[in-house]
Amino acid sequence: MMCKRSVMVLATILFFLMVANFCFATNYFVDASNGNDNNPGTSPAAAWKSISKINNSLFLAGDSIFLKRK
């Protein structure tokens, strides 16, 4: 049986691993009116234009995609 200290250490390590995953997440933006699929898509000012750009891109766990509504 694990001692209480070992359980706390493992829980702390697990917590920091989960937080680290979200620290490296990227936000992507799509704007069908003003975007351009040649943009990096990582800011509203440099948004992608089409859904096909999303479909042809690879994403990591924690990444978010924001679609601008009209």
| pTM (predicted TM-score) | 0.68
19 pLDDT tier (thresholds 50, 70, 90)? low
Contacts of 51 (CB under 8 A, 6+ apart): 30
Q: At 15, is the pLDDT very low, low, confident or very high (cuts 50, 70, 90)?
A: confident
Assess if residue 29 is contained within a domain. Answer: yes
Task: Give the chain's domain count.
Answer: 1
| Residue 15 resides in a domain | no
Percent of the chain with pLDDT over 90: 59
Residue 32 lies in a domain: yes
Query: Can you give the residue range of the structural domain that contains 56?
Result: 25-70
Residue 62 lies in a domain: yes
Mean pLDDT of the chain: 88
In a domain, 13, yes or no: no
